[in-house]
Amino acid sequence: MFTCTPTCTTPSSSPTADGNAVKFVVAVTDYVFPSLEPEQRVLAPLGVELRPGQCRSEEEIIELTQGADAVLNCYAKMPARVIEKLNRCKVIARYGIGVDNVDLVAATRAGIVVTNVPDYCVDEVSDHALALILALARQIVLADAAVREGRWDVVAHAGIQRLRGQTLGLLGFGKIAKALAAKAKPLGIRLLIYDPYVDSEVTSGYGVQVVNLELLLAESDVISIHVPLSAQTHGLIGERELARMKPTAFLINTSRGGIVDEQALAGALAAGRLGGAALDVLSVEPPPLDHPLRKLPNVILTPHLAFYSRESVIELQTKAAEEVARALKGEPPRSPVNREVLAR
């Protein structure tokens, strides 16, 4: 569960920021942004009162969303129990691409459309993935730590290999993976992809070779994960898959933590059966202090910030708020996840 502040606040009803009478209430379950000014700018002209919170429990979400006409949601989990209490809600607009924290079946059953923002942060996440690849390949973090500790030793980094001619395997080939492929190609890297949902028409022009999962695992020097978290992808990279990778290979995950079996990954890294890993996402965020990946020198961890830039955050907030505005005006959403609700 995402945590930020210890309580979930529910402001009293008041005029909107531009002085209009309140016509709609939009609850914000949680957010990681400096302010909610983009949402206010989009929604205030419709007579919307924003009801912001930093909810840490189902009970807090239920309290915050009472009587809400729409919900903006970041990381707070919205299971069936919460969704069933949304008696006025028209839309749950997710701040982000993935919707694994929202019970889509329950939302569909309740007639609530769930939206996401599938076309933001493509540059940011692909940049971050490439940065993690370079940091592992060039041992940047290890070298920095050594110098800070007083060790100036080039020979200690004798295992560094040239990137040109190595193979990058992309697990999934959506917008972010395509952007990463375009950025990695000029480095002289061979590109493999595994994605059962794309065909040659989708991959043409990217200079990639489509392979099965077994070949991608066996031949890649670096594997970067770019698939959503679902029942099909949960635990997709486990002990069996890690054993098929090269002992010098790197694993990069900027997608979702549940896709990788972290205990198996830690075991493979500690035993020298894998070269290194760089993770922006973990199954529990933040990870406990005794998480085994925290202790390994060949692991780079970042706090789920691959999506983040000043520009991408404003874009995300604005596009999520625009989905709410469309729903409140009775217009079809731009990016519905459970489209079947619209057919009713």
pLDDT tens per residue across span 137-177: 999 999 999 999 999 999 999 999 999 999 999 999 999 99
Please give the Cα distance from 282 to 342 (Å, whole number).
Answer: 33
Q: Are residues 231 and 163 in the same domain?
A: yes
At residue 19, the pLDDT reads: 60
Please give the Cα distance from 281 to 166 (Å, whole number).
Answer: 25
> Does any domain span residue 18?
no
> Does any domain span residue 5?
no
Q: Are residues 97 and 192 in the same domain?
A: no
Q: Are residues 174 and 284 in the same domain?
A: yes
CB atoms within 10 A of CB 64: 23
Q: Are residues 114 and 129 in the same domain?
A: no
> Does any domain span residue 6?
no
How many domains are contained in the chain?
2
At residue 255, the pLDDT reads: 97
Active site residues: 256, 285, 304
Give 171-228 as a DSSP string: E--SHHHHHHHHHHGGGT-EEEEE-TT--HHHHTTS-EEE--HHHHHHH-SEEEE---
Q: Which domain holds residue 326?
A: 24-118+310-343
| Residue 334 structure tokens | 């731009």
Q: Residue 15 — pLDDT band, cuts 50, 70, 90?
A: low
Tell me the pLDDT of the chain averaged across its residues: 94
At residue 5, the pLDDT reads: 40
Q: Residue 17 — pLDDT band, cuts 50, 70, 90?
A: low
Q: Are residues 237 and 179 in the same domain?
A: yes
> Does any domain span residue 13?
no
> Does any domain span residue 242?
yes
Phi/psi at 306 (nearest 5 deg)?
-60, -30
- Specify the CATH number for the domain of residue 58: 3.40.50.720
End-to-end, the C-alpha distance of the chain in Å comes to 32
> Does any domain span residue 10?
no
At residue 4, the pLDDT reads: 35
> Does any domain span residue 16?
no
Average pLDDT over residues 281-302: 97
> Does any domain span residue 4?
no
Q: Are residues 238 and 278 in the same domain?
A: yes
Q: Residue 305 — pLDDT band, cuts 50, 70, 90?
A: very high
Q: Are residues 87 and 63 in the same domain?
A: yes
Q: Are residues 243 and 272 in the same domain?
A: yes
Q: Are residues 110 and 187 in the same domain?
A: no
In this predicted structure, the answer to whether residue 277 has a pLDDT above a threshold of 80 is yes
Give 73-111 as a DSSP string: ESSS-B-HHHHTT-SS--EEEESSS--TTB-HHHHHHTT
In this predicted structure, the answer to whether residue 3 has a pLDDT above a threshold of 70 is no
Q: Are residues 282 and 197 in the same domain?
A: yes
Q: Are residues 44 and 88 in the same domain?
A: yes
Average pLDDT over residues 22-41: 97
Looking at the chain, the whole-number percentage of residues with pLDDT higher than 90 is 91
In this predicted structure, the answer to whether residue 18 has a pLDDT above a threshold of 80 is no
At residue 106, the pLDDT reads: 98
Q: Are residues 109 and 179 in the same domain?
A: no
In this predicted structure, the answer to whether residue 267 has a pLDDT above a threshold of 90 is yes
